């Protein structure tokens, strides 16, 4: 006989701070303090200045292709602020605000886009993976890390970030199935900026939302205003609590990239200016500044001082990245394995490859 299953699909949507800077005090209770909001505003502002400088570095030929984070800072900052020091962040490439808050030195991202392998060398004690350029492959890594946490009985959670286009990849579904079947402490955070590079959401998926995909896997799903640091923080903090009990969460943060997909893209060819102008009014930094000013926690004098500090700080970050000693061929080998396999040790020493089993120096290395 046929099996009939009835679903009552209800999509939870969360917004606490709207685009006019108005806060829902009831929903905000127990989330961010005034001190937290000031810190996050300063942090996001510094990250935006960093973003602008990185764009100029690329345009002046001092760096390779770069994907701007502008417009999506609140999604990364709010969620990243909720993550604990011991938790692991598995990023895509628009999560600078989360990575920097979690301890990754800012010059690491610049070095990555400069083509320097040392940009992907994560300092000891900083629990993040290098940024991922392939669309969606890293979600499986997050599920694997979360599985290790569960097997070791560690109080740790893994969060992975990706765009809406990544949810059309098989890797997303495999990772979701893996995490929910094994009840892993894993959070899936989708930054839905409406564009999978130059393809609009409605042309690369039939589902009206990303979060409804959680239903197929019995994951908890919530859709949030991705330009609202309060909502992104609360959704992630609640997801951590569920993850510790073995229930993964899919968070869909509805946001928008105000820049091009990367510096190799020209979004004017496929996006309407009216759409861009409408989203500029929802700028996450703008709404937080209005909120702080309304509470008498911010003013023009503080803004001027912040911009000066951000400029000085980012200038030093650029100097650190560009002033690093020249890379050596050792960097090709040294940052993948904790202990280099013998065959790679030979390649590192000789700077040549050999056929399988033909490593004349092996016996010497063993000795």
Q: Does 261 participate in catalysis according to the annotation?
A: yes
Residue of 261, 271, 287, 289 marked active site: 261
pTM summary value: 0.92
pLDDT at 291: 98
pLDDT tens profile 269-282: 999 999 999 999 99
**Span 290-316, pLDDT tens digits:** 999 999 999 999 999 999 999 999 999
* Cβ-based neighbours of 179, under 8 Å, separated by 6 or more: 143, 146, 186, 188, 217, 219, 248
Active site residue 257: yes
| Distance from C-alpha of 114 to C-alpha of 322, rounded to nearest angstrom | 9
Structural domains in the chain, sorted by start = 13-327 (3.40.50.970), 329-367 (no CATH)
Radius of gyration of the chain from its Cα atoms, rounded to whole angstroms = 22
Concerning whether 270 is annotated as a catalytic residue, the answer is yes
- Considering the candidates 59, 268, 270, 349, report the single residue annotated as catalytic: 270
For residue 15, pLDDT over 60 is answered with yes
The predicted pLDDT at position 193 comes to 96
How would DSSP label each residue in 69-113? Answer: -TT-HHHHHHHHHHS-TTSEEE--SS-HHHHHHTT--HHHHHHHH
- pLDDT tens per residue, range 50-82: 999 999 999 999 999 999 999 999 999 999 999
Poorest-confidence range of 119-123, 271-275, 351-355? 351-355
pLDDT band of residue 366 (cuts 50, 70, 90) is: very low
Q: Which of 101, 156, 257, 289 is catalytic?
A: 257
């Amino acid at each position: 006989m046929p099996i009939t299953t009835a679903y009552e699909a209800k999509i939870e949507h969360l917004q606490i701070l709207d685009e006019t800077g108005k806060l829902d005090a009831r929903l905000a209770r127990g989330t961010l303090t005034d001190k937290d909001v000031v810190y996050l505003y300063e942090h996001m502002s510094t990250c935006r200045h960093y973003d602008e400088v990185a764009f100029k570095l690329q345009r002046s030929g001092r760096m390779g292709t770069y994907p701007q984070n502008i417009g999506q800072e609140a999604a990364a900052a709010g969620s990243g602020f909720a993550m604990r020091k011991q938790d692991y962040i598995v990023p895509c490439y628009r999560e600078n605000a989360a990575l920097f808050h979690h301890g990754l030195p800012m010059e690491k991202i610049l070095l990555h886009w400069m083509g320097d392998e040392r940009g992907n060398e994560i300092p000891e004690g900083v629990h993040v993976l290098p940024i991922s350029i392939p669309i969606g492959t890293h979600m499986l890594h997050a599920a694997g890390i979360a599985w290790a946490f569960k097997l070791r009985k560690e109080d740790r959670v893994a969060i992975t970030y990706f765009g809406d286009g990544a949810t059309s990849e098989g890797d997303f579904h495999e990772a979701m199935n893996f995490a929910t079947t094994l009840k892993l402490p894993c959070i899936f955070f989708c930054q839905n900026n409406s564009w999978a590079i130059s393809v609009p959401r409605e042309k690369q998926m039939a589902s009206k939302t990303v979060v409804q995909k959680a239903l197929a896997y019995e994951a908890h799903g919530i859709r949030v205003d991705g330009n609202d640091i309060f909502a992104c923080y609360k959704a992630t903090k609640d997801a951590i609590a569920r993850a510790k009990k073995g229930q993964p969460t899919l968070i869909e943060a509805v946001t928008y990239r105000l820049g091009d997909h990367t510096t190799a893209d020209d979004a004017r060819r496929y996006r309407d200016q009216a759409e861009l102008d409408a989203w500029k009014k929802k700028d996450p930094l703008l709404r937080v500044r209005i909120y702080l000013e309304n509470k008498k926690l911010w003013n023009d004098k503080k803004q001027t001082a912040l911009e000066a500090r951000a400029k000085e700080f980012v200038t030093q970050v650029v100097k650190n990245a560009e002033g690093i000693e020249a890379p050596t061929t050792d960097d090709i080998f040294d940052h993948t394995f904790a202990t280099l396999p013998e065959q790679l040790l030979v390649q590192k020493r000789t700077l040549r490859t050999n056929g399988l089993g033909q490593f004349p120096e092996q016996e010497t290395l063993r000795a």
